[in-house]
Amino acid sequence: MDFLADHSPELLPGNRKLPEGIVEAPHGTTIVAATFPGGVVLAGDRRATMGNMIAQRDIEKVFPADEYSAVGIAGTAGLAVEMVKLFQLELEHFEKVEGATLSLEGKANRLSTMIRGNLGMAMQGLAVVPLFAGWDEGREKGRIFSYDVTGGRSEEHGFAATGSGSIFARGSMKKLYRADLSEEQATTLVVQALYDAADDDSATGGPDLARGIFPIVTVITDEGFRRLTDEESSALARSVTERRLEQPDGPRAALL
Amino acid sequence: MSTPFYVSPQQAMADRAEYARKGIARGRSLVVLQYTDGIVFVGENPSRALHKFSEIYDRIGFAAAGKYNEYENLRIGGVRYADLRGYTYDRDDVTARGLANVYAQTLGTIFSSAGEKPYEVELVVAEVGSEPEGDQIYRLPHDGSIVDEHGSVAVGGNAEQISSYLDQRHRDGMSLAEALKLAVQALSRDTNGTEREIPAERLEVAVLDRTRPQQRKFKRIVGRQLSRLLEADDAAVAKTDEPSDEAPEE
């Protein structure tokens, strides 16, 4: 990073002049994550919006950061994708130069600094608010970190969501989450949460059966990062949608 | 003021080359071999932390013999070059040829500049292709020249002897176990022709494996996997000695 700053400063996001006025650009929406014993899942819907228009139906917003972590992005898509690219580069560069990977905390802190660097843009309405999840090799568990626009970092226990549909997704997961979920249950949980977010938030896209566009679901365990194949995520989304035909509001939690 | 002695440029260069060669010859040799699924790096290295081989980029690996601080410096330079390239353009735009050119320029400039001492290093830059035909191996001696190699290459102290040994025995389409065995045989031959045993703990082995599903093909082979490969040697060799496309033995 320091090398990049010295050598080609124009490649770094922080060194650009801020645009005047409000810029209309595609925004990504909802990202959810949940931990389970043995790992963590991170998932995102596929919609990008620009004002009241759907800018893209099949955007991908969840990326592997390295072999044991992933980042999901909400906010201005262009800036967010660039931030992820730079983040991936930095983790890989560190690993190659030092011969060891950064600790999960180290990665989370680094992302924090990058978000803070974007604060000027965020004030212009071009915010980037990611969710970072990874497998902590030291502690042997999956962990989730959420961020605010100023780069403030906080560790989330159990589950977390970010983006415009996050309120609904969080409410959904609050009622469905249990600490002893299996990997398969955890992936179902995040798809349920995304369904609920899409149900109530116009900027979040639900499973699109007609076009075959389904949420991106990723799982990180001690074996590393894995993205569910299109078949797996389509089967998952289909089974959730099927159940919703009978029960449109989704599974019920116990009253007491 | 005394007049400096006149030294002819030929003599000056010959002296510098001699100096660099002696430095490199003090280090242990290492070999780089093509095998059917990629490229394998094998060397004798008593240290587990100070590597002779390392990853530069997705498909590119680096091997160096000679002075550690000098090649470490070049290695980091290479990683920076590759990462900057890949970030600015695309991951596919980082090639071993480009990297080898940068190294050749650097080594050549240092070698011929009167102010600096020449680097006592010899490098190998290898890139694994999606097919064996796409594999590239470049050897970069201390003076900044580039040698495009095929099949096998050895650098370091005993390089000439080892590479002639390898040239005679290496063939295309070897399995990893076969290539590894050949490499170890080559490395364990001393200058005077006697053989000595190199224990698995003293071997540093890494591969660029084109069959790896990840984007980054570089992988170190350590511990149990290494000893399994070394032991499985004989069985594996026996098995691959009867490939189906050759005349079946009746």
* Contact at CB, B87 and A3, closer than 8 angstroms: no
Cα–Cα dist B93/B100, whole Å: 14
Q: Minimum mean pLDDT among A13-17, A49-53, B24-28, B135-139: which range?
A: A13-17
- What average pLDDT does range B48-57 have in this prediction? 90
Choose the catalytic residue: A29, A30, A76, A188: A29
For residue A20, pLDDT beyond 70: no
Structural domain contains residue A12: no
- pLDDT tens for each residue of B3-29: 778 888 888 889 889 999 888 888 888
CB proximity list for B220: less than 8 A, separation 6 or greater: B53, B204, B205, B206
Structural domain contains residue A5: no
Which residue of chain A is at minimal alpha-carbon distance from B52? Answer: A99
Cα–Cα dist B150/B154, whole Å: 11
Helix/strand/coil for B213:
coil
Q: Chain A: nearest CA to B38, how far in angstroms? A: 20
Structural domain contains residue A256: no
Residues of A in Cβ contact (< 8 Å) with B88: 8, 11
Predicted confidence at residue A18, as pLDDT, reads 65
Cα–Cα dist A145/B121, whole Å: 45
Mean of pLDDT over chain B: 86
Structural domain contains residue A100: yes
Residues of A in Cβ contact (< 8 Å) with B86: 89
For residue B121, pLDDT beyond 60: yes
Cα–Cα dist B250/B247, whole Å: 9
DSSP state of A14: G
Predicted confidence at residue B35, as pLDDT, reads 94
Taking residue B21's Cβ as centre, other Cβ atoms within 10 Å add up to 18
- What average pLDDT does range A204-225 have in this prediction? 94
* Contact at CB, B84 and A4, closer than 8 angstroms: yes
Q: Minimum mean pLDDT among A6-20, A161-175, B73-87, B212-226: which range?
A: A6-20
- pLDDT tens for each residue of A108-164: 999 999 999 888 888 888 889 999 999 999 899 999 999 999 989 999 999 999 999
pLDDT more than 70, % of chain B? 91
Residues of A in Cβ contact (< 8 Å) with B84: 3-4, 7-8
Per-residue exposure over A52-79, b if at least 16 CB sit within 10 Å of its own CB, e if not: eeebeeebbbbbbbbbbbbbbbbbbbbb
- What average pLDDT does range B75-100 have in this prediction? 93
Structural domain contains residue A1: no
Cα–Cα dist B26/B48, whole Å: 19
- pLDDT tens for each residue of A172-202: 999 999 999 999 999 999 999 999 999 999 9
Structural domain contains residue A230: yes
- What average pLDDT does range B125-130 have in this prediction? 94
Instruction: Confirm or reject contact between B1 and chain A (CB < 8 A).
Output: no
Q: Chain B: nearest CA to A197, how far in angstroms? A: 33
Cα–Cα dist A42/A130, whole Å: 11
Q: Where are the beta strands (DSSP E) in A180-250?
A: 216-221, 224-227
Helix/strand/coil for B8:
coil
- What average pLDDT does range B95-117 have in this prediction? 91
Residues of A in Cβ contact (< 8 Å) with B56: 96
Helix/strand/coil for A201:
coil
CB proximity list for B112: less than 8 A, separation 6 or greater: B13, B144
Helix/strand/coil for A127:
coil
ipTM: 0.80
Q: Domain span at residue A52?
A: 24-245
Between A194 and B250, the higher pLDDT residue = A194
Cα–Cα dist B233/B231, whole Å: 5
Structural domain contains residue A15: no
Q: Chain A: nearest CA to B73, how far in angstroms? A: 10
Predicted confidence at residue B27, as pLDDT, reads 80
Instruction: Confirm or reject contact between B83 and chain A (CB < 8 A).
Output: yes
Residues of A in Cβ contact (< 8 Å) with B214: 67
Structural domain contains residue A36: yes
Number of domains in chain A: 1
For residue B237, pLDDT beyond 50: no
- pLDDT tens for each residue of B155-179: 988 888 899 999 999 988 899 999 9
What 3 state SS string does A42-89 have? EEECCCEEECCEEEECCCCCEEEEECCEEEEEEEEHHHHHHHHHHHHH
* Contact at CB, A92 and B51, closer than 8 angstroms: no
User: Nearest Cβ partner of B87 from A67, A85, A96?
Assistant: A85
Contact A241, A214 (CB under 8 A): no
Cα–Cα dist B58/B41, whole Å: 16
Choose among A182, A169, A170, A173: nearest CA to A221. Answer: A182
**Tokens found for residue A34:** 């949940």
Instruction: Assign B193 a pLDDT band (cuts: 50, 70, 90).
Output: low
User: Nearest Cβ partner of A99 from B51, B83, B86?
Assistant: B51
Cα–Cα dist B190/B169, whole Å: 17
**Tokens found for residue A171:** 């409410």
Which residue of chain B is at minimal alpha-carbon distance from A2? Answer: B80
Predicted confidence at residue A21, as pLDDT, reads 66
Active site residue A29: yes
pLDDT more than 90, % of chain B? 54
- pLDDT tens for each residue of A47-85: 999 888 899 999 999 999 999 999 999 988 888 999 999
Q: Chain B: nearest CA to A97, how far in angstroms? A: 6
CB proximity list for B102: less than 8 A, separation 6 or greater: B77, B78, B81
Measured in degrees and rounded to the nearest 5, phi and psi for residue B3 equal -80, 130
Which CATH number characterizes residue A206's domain? 3.60.20.10
Helix/strand/coil for B61:
strand
Contact residues, chain A to chain B, C-beta under 8 Å: 3-4, 7-8, 11, 67, 85-86, 89, 92-93, 96-97, 99
Helix/strand/coil for B60:
strand
Residues of B in Cβ contact (< 8 Å) with A7: 84
CB neighbour class for A11 (10 Å; exposed up to 12, middle 13-18, buried from 19)? middle
